[in-house]
Amino acid sequence: MVKKILLLDNYDSFTYNLYQLIGAQFEGEIIVKRNDAIGLEYIENNNVNGLIISPGPKKPKDIPFVKELIKLCFRKIPVLGICLGMQCINEVFGGSTVRALYPMHGKAVTISHSGTGLFLGLPENITVARYHSLVVKVNSDDLIISAKTADNVIMGIQHKRYPLWGVQFHPESFLTEYGDEMIGNFLNIL
């Protein structure tokens, strides 16, 4: 059976950059759907093997469907949230999304990470692209902070037991080192 990934598009200009990055490594079917074009039943009715939630211009509170989809999926299939997608994951587990001290749009910064999950096999410190003005505050024993900046801004989270990850930065950006490896680590779990 052909594996399928649902790439949930939150109306972001980076979605098809992400599509290209996934497609370069994934031999299955990549289905792109806007966040208001499907219902919760889509995942089960279409035998989706993984969910990637794109960045987007809104706040998690503006897209409750995405949070409901995360709740439905995270125990069943691997889920990766990018930027807004990570913020939604964090809120599902009781965290908050707040305004950053200063916006970071098109900025390359160095992060440190756990070396596990998405970061498996990567150097200890890597450069990533930040395009956001919101940040997360984690408030859950179920989530682990897996990456952060030198000034302790959370750049990655993962669930302790389930294949659920989020990154605040953009692995699909040319400013991010090892973006293809991070996506590859996610795809290897499918």
The pLDDT, as a whole number, for residue 28 is 97
**What distance in Å separates the CA atoms of residue 38 and residue 182, rounded to the nearest whole number?**
27
d(CA 49, CA 46) in angstroms, rounded, equals 9
The tokens of 147 are what?
């990456």
| Percent over 70 (pLDDT), the chain | 100
Is the pLDDT at 143 greater than 90, yes or no? yes
Q: Which residues pair with 104 in a beta bridge?
A: 132
User: Which pLDDT belongs to residue 139?
Assistant: 97
Work out the percent of the chain whose per-residue pLDDT is above 90: 99
74 pLDDT higher than 90: yes
Q: Which of 19, 55, 25 is nearest to 181 (CA)?
A: 25
User: Domain total for the chain?
Assistant: 1
The domain that holds 53 is classified in CATH as 3.40.50.880
Asked if 177 contacts 37 with a C-beta cutoff of 8 angstroms, the reply is no
Residue-wise pLDDT for 165-178, tens only, equals 999 999 999 999 99
pLDDT band at 55 (very low <50, low <70, confident <90, very high): very high
Alpha-carbon span 55 to 82, nearest angstrom: 5
**How far, in Å, are 21, 24, 78 from residue 27 at the CA level?**
12, 8, 17
Query: Of 72, 86, 81, which is closest to residue 8 (Cα–Cα)?
Result: 81
End-to-end Cα spacing for the chain: 13
Whether the per-residue pLDDT at 48 is higher than 90: the answer is: yes
Check residue 38 and give its pLDDT.
96
**For residue 44, what pLDDT is reported?**
86
Average pLDDT of the residues of the chain = 97
Smallest CA-to-CA distance from 129 within 88, 185, 178, 94 is with 178
How would residue 89 be classed by pLDDT, with cut points 50, 70 and 90? very high
Q: Looking at the annotation, which residues are catalytic?
A: 83, 170, 172
- Using CA atoms, how far residue 107 sits from 59, 104, 129, 130, 175, in Å, is 20, 6, 6, 5, 8
pLDDT band at 1 (very low <50, low <70, confident <90, very high): confident
Domain of residue 65 covers 4-187
> 142-148: long-range contacts (C-beta < 8 A, 24 or more apart)?
142/93, 143/89, 143/90, 143/93, 143/95, 144/114, 146/113, 146/114, 146/116, 146/117, 146/118, 146/119, 147/111, 147/112, 147/113, 147/114, 147/119, 148/111, 148/112
* Of 35 and 44, the one with more pLDDT: 35
CA pair distance 186, 74, nearest whole angstrom: 14
Per-residue model confidence (pLDDT) at position 16: 97
